[in-house]
Amino acid sequence: MPVVVLKDVKKSFGSLQVLRGVSFSVDKGDVVALIGASGSGKSTALRCIDRLETIDSGTIDVCGYSVSDPNLDLRRLRLDVGIVFQSYNLFPHLTVEENITLAPRSVKRMQKAEASEIAREVLAQVGLSDKADNYPEQLSGGQQQRAAIARSLAMQPKVMLFDEVTSALDPKLTGEVLKVIETLAASGMTMIMVTHEMAFARRVADQVVYMHQGRVHEAGAASILTHPTTAELSEFISNDL
C-alpha cells in the first residue's frame, strides 16, 4: 500500500494556479525525486503533503491520514512526517543536542535521558557525534543542515520530506548532506525530495516525478532522466547539464 497518495490536487495563491491537478503515489521505503523548473509547483506540492499549505481540491493521504480533512489532527500527522527545508531553522541559542531534544521532550513528553540518547543516535547517523555541545554558529552550513536532518529523525517519522536542502550549499557541503540522505534511503526510509541534483536522483531515486507548469508532466523510474519521453523533460535535463 502506498504511504503517500496525491489525487488531482489543485492549489492557487490568489489568481495564480500553482498546482493544476497533481497526482502521484509513494510506496513504503521508496525515494521519490520531485524535479522541475522554478515555479513548476514542486515545493508547493511538498508543503501540501505536510499541511503547511491547504489545498483547494483533490485529496492527499499520508500514513493513513486524510490531509485535506479540516478536522485532521496536525500534531499526529507531524509525528509521522518530518520535513527539512533549505534554511536550517536551528535555534541559535540552543546547542545541537538541545535543538534535537526539544521536540521529543515537548511533543512526545519524553524524559531528558531518553531524548538525549535518541539525540546521540541520530547525530551518529548524520556524522555529527562530536558536535552535540556545539551551537549552530559553530557549524558549517553542511553540518547545520545535517543537524536539521537529525532533529527531524529524532521524532522517528515514517516519511521524510526534503525541500531543496542542498541549494544553499557549496559542492563539498552538498556532498556531505547527500551522503546522509543516501544512507537514509539505504535504511528503508520513505522520502520525497525536491531537488536539482540530477546525478543524485539518477543514483538514489526509485521514482522521479517531473513537474511542469503545475502538473506532473512525466513520471517513472530514474531511467527517465537518461531516456526522457517528452521534449520538455529532455530540455530540462539538457539545461541542467
What share of the chain has pLDDT > 70, as a percent? 99
pLDDT band at 171 (very low <50, low <70, confident <90, very high): confident
* Res. 57: pLDDT tops 90: yes
pLDDT band at 1 (very low <50, low <70, confident <90, very high): confident
The residue among 20, 16, 70 whose CA lies nearest residue 211 is 20
The whole-angstrom separation of Cα 6 and Cα 27 is 12
pLDDT band at 218 (very low <50, low <70, confident <90, very high): very high
pTM of the model: 0.92
* Res. 166: pLDDT tops 90: no
Report the mean per-residue pLDDT for the chain. Answer: 93
The whole-angstrom separation of Cα 166 and Cα 145 is 8
* Res. 236: pLDDT tops 90: yes
Which residue(s) pair with 57 in the sheet? Answer: 10
54 and 9 in contact (C-beta within 8 Å)? Answer: no
pLDDT band at 241 (very low <50, low <70, confident <90, very high): low
Please state the rounded mean pLDDT for residues 123-129. 93
pLDDT band at 86 (very low <50, low <70, confident <90, very high): confident
212 and 45 in contact (C-beta within 8 Å)? Answer: no
Sign for the CA dihedral angle at 18, 51, 9, 36 comes to positive
* Surface-to-core class of residue 62, CB atoms within 10 Å of its CB (0-12 exposed, 13-18 middle, 19+ buried): buried
Amino acid 10: pLDDT = 97
The whole-angstrom separation of Cα 20 and Cα 189 is 29
Sheet holding 159-163, edge to edge: 81-84, 159-163, 190-194, 31-35, 207-212, 215-220
pLDDT band at 149 (very low <50, low <70, confident <90, very high): very high
pLDDT single digits (tens) 2-25: 999 999 999 999 999 999 999 999
Please state the rounded mean pLDDT for residues 54-65. 96
Please state the rounded mean pLDDT for residues 208-219. 96
Q: Which domains are present in the chain?
A: 2-86+159-240 (3.40.50.300)
Q: How many residues does the chain have?
A: 241
Other CB atoms within 10 Å distance of the CB of residue 50: 21
Which residue(s) pair with 17 in the sheet? Answer: 12
